[in-house]
Structure 1
Amino acid sequence: MITLLYAGLCTLLVLTLAGRVMARRLSHKIGIGDGGDHEMVKRVRAHANAVEYLPLALLLLGGMELNGYPNAVIHGFGATLLVSRVLHAWGLSRSSSASPGRFVGILFTLLLMVAMSLFAIAGFVSPYLASDVEAQEYEG
């Protein structure tokens, strides 16, 4: 499965972001929360944001693959997802205010998820629409 490739790569991204949080906790002796450390806030948010968006996006991607969408489409969506999440994490890690990486990363993530949602819905609805058309042609 192509989705498995992107799930693996995205998991490595999430683990990298988690490792950055853990390293900061250890080096600055922060047990819970952010300890008032601005750098810790950025690291926690970069990790949490990836965890918030990736599961749904990967679920949509896997559903599209199982529904028979072309491999090129799955790779296009998967690669865009991974790159957009890396850009977002990089942008947020560098600045807690607006940054190009953060903006482009979330913009592409959201647009991608809307597109995948529409593909998923269309994949579900199209067989029913096709059977209605065939039924009307048969009756006519």
Structure 2
Amino acid sequence: MSVQITSAYAGLLGLWLVALSVNVAAHRAKLGIGLGAGGDPRMRRVVRMHGNASESIPVALLLMALCEIGGGRAWILHAAGVVLVAARAANACGLWKSEGPHPLRVAGAHLTWLTTLALACLNIAGAL
């Protein structure tokens, strides 16, 4: 029961989460904000970039790992991993540019949801 494919994407997304965390810490230090966003619009976006990733990545990776353990096809797992990495980057880039519904943010959120939904359905189908 190897999860080599999921491990690769978990590693990439783990690095992404660290980068987003460092970004939050750097902005906190630069702006002198210890907690929350301190009313600063950019800080609010930086915090949400990290929060959005922290909320969505673990569930998607868990579903991906379970799918892989259950014998999911490698090409499907790679497709899910690539889309998830691209979606999380797009979401953060769109949020960096605007608090509103930026096209990259919307696309990133939708692709994350679709990937998570697809992985959930594959796991349900595999369990039946």
TM-score (norm 2): 0.96
Distance 2:66 2:81 in 1: 12
1:106 aligns with 2:106: no
Distance 2:122 2:68 in 1: 11
Distance 1:10 1:120 in 2: 21
Task: Return 5+ residue gaps in structure 2 as ranges.
Answer: none
User: Paired residue for 1:138?
Assistant: none
Cα deviation for residue 38 of structure 1 reads 0.7
**Equivalences, count:** 125
1:51 aligns with 2:51: no
1:34 aligns with 2:14: no
Cα deviation for residue 123 of structure 1 reads 0.4
User: Paired residue for 1:76?
Assistant: 79
Distance 2:87 2:100 in 1: 18
TM-score (norm 1): 0.88
In the TM superposition, what are the counterparts of 1:11-30 in structure 2 within 5 Å?
Answer: 11-30=14-33
Cα deviation for residue 117 of structure 1 reads 0.6
Task: Return 5+ residue gaps in structure 1 as ranges.
Answer: 126-140
Letter in 1 for 2:26: A
Q: Percent identity?
A: 38
Distance 1:36 1:120 in 2: 42
The one-character-per-residue Cα deviations of 1:39-68 (angstroms, maximum 9, x if unpaired) are 000000010000000000000000011111
Distance 1:77 1:8 in 2: 14
User: Paired residue for 1:132?
Assistant: none
Letter in 2 for 1:66: I
- Which segments of structure 1 move beyond 2 Å, counting only runs of 4 or more? none
Cα deviation for residue 84 of structure 1 reads 0.5
In the TM superposition, what are the counterparts of 1:80-99 in structure 2 within 5 Å?
Answer: 80-99=83-102
Give me the CA root mean square deviation. 0.6
Cα deviation for residue 112 of structure 1 reads 1.0
Distance 2:17 2:96 in 1: 13
Cα deviation for residue 28 of structure 1 reads 1.0
